[in-house]
Structure 1
Amino acid sequence: MTDTQNYRTVSYSQTTLTELMIPSYANFGGKIHGGILLSLMDKVAYACSAKHAGNYCVTVTVEGVHFLQPVEVGELVSLKASINYVGNTSLMVGIRVIAENVKTGKIKHTNTSYFTMVAKGDDDKPAQVPGLTLETREDARRFLEAIRRRELSQRYQTELANSKTRLSVETELHKLQDYRCQIAF
């Protein structure tokens, strides 16, 4: 197998951040600003990744931010983070966000997101992170899904980069006829 000194378990760095949603976090519609939730997600991603890495970590990408249900003032929001994948210097943190109405006890899942973080050493250069010990079949499933997510992201970035160099407005303009836009040139 592998040298366990250079590995940490998923449970070692699992982190939960819980915060009361106060009126100053609300938008004009009375719901909690998405930016407040994104900031909390970034905090919990940092805490989880830094604990695993044993180093300062920075956010590189944020994927899968879909606000499934609104969060209300007065609810307790809990952000549950765990390491789903590690590379050489990068970590993918899965975050599940739930909101709880403390009066009724109703709990709702509001968001699941994935933050890719990179560990930084004292020299501010990327630093190697410990490997990940998968303790359960669920840990293995999440690691495998993260590999797939990375592959799809890399494929998308490659296709997007190639299409930028080959895209011709003149040859592609006809595709806009089925969309809600008008051409003014």
Structure 2
Amino acid sequence: MKKYKSAKESQVSITELMLPSHSNFGGKVHGGHILNLMDQIAFACASKHSQAYCVTASVNRVDFLQPVEVGELLTLKASINYTGNTSMVVGVRVEAENVTTGVVKHCNSSYFTMVAKGDNGKNLKVPGLIIKDKQALRRFARSIERKMAMFQRDTKFDDKNFKVEDYLGQLKKENIKLALD
């Protein structure tokens, strides 16, 4: 196995026609179906990069920007944005194309943290990422920032660190009725 790989070596994309069976009660493609496809392509990309079975550790922020219509072609593109020791951040972009007009719309982008696993179920070391341009460096740096922000957010709200008085002022503006013991 290579010690380092470029993102291009493991990029994958899929295109699928959105069928009525994919729709929700509102007649749009169900977000859960899109998330399932996103997870599948993140798995494929991470597995291709690591040459190992991978599992989803977390998904960072999923914003549905545009609805996807039945009859549109949904294209998902995945690329490795960051590599840690045993984990990878896979950037996934989702676009829908109207087949009759050719109009393409960006529907979603998200970041999946995937972990490589060995046959014994233990985490496996993954190849590092070769950064070839400013865009790839920006994506790598952004993944580091997201990772640090998540850690800070998690520790800030840990039972030992959380201070009610720090938030009482903010809560006055929210749709909440406090009834603390």
When normalised by structure 2's length, the TM-score is: 0.91
In the TM superposition, what is the alpha-carbon distance from 1:165 to its structure 2 partner?
Answer: 3.2
1:151 Cα deviation from its structure 2 partner:
1.2
Shift of 1:184: 6.7
Cα displacement (A) at 1:176: 3.7
Cα separation, 1, equivalents of 2:166 and 2:71: 53
Match of 1:177 in 2: 172
Aligned to 2:6: 9
5+ residue gaps, structure 2: none
CA offset at residue 144 of structure 1?
1.2
Q: Quick check: 2:6–2:129 contact (8 Å CA) kept in 1?
A: yes
- Once the 2 structures are TM-superposed, how far is the Cα of residue 174 of structure 1 from its aligned partner? 6.5
- The gaps in structure 1 that reach 5 residues or longer are none
Q: Which amino acid is the alignment partner of residue 165 of structure 1?
A: K
Equivalent residue of 1:71, what SS?
coil
> Higher helix fraction: Structure 1 or Structure 2?
1
Q: RMSD of aligned C-alpha atoms? A: 2.0
Q: Which residue of 2 aligns with 1:67?
A: 64
* Identity across matched positions, percent: 51
Does the 8 A contact of 2:156 with 2:162 survive in 1?
no
Matching of residue 139 in structure 1 with residue 147 in structure 2 = no
Partner residue in 2 for 1:149: 146
* Residue in structure 2 matched with residue 42 of structure 1 by the alignment: 39
Asked if 2 retains the 8 angstrom alpha-carbon contact of 1:10 and 1:135, the reply is: no
Q: 1:20 aligns with which of 8, 17, 20?
A: 17
Q: CA deviation at 1:129?
A: 0.3
Quote the Cα distance in structure 1 between the aligned partners of 2:166 and 2:80.
45
Q: Aligned residue pairs: how many?
A: 180
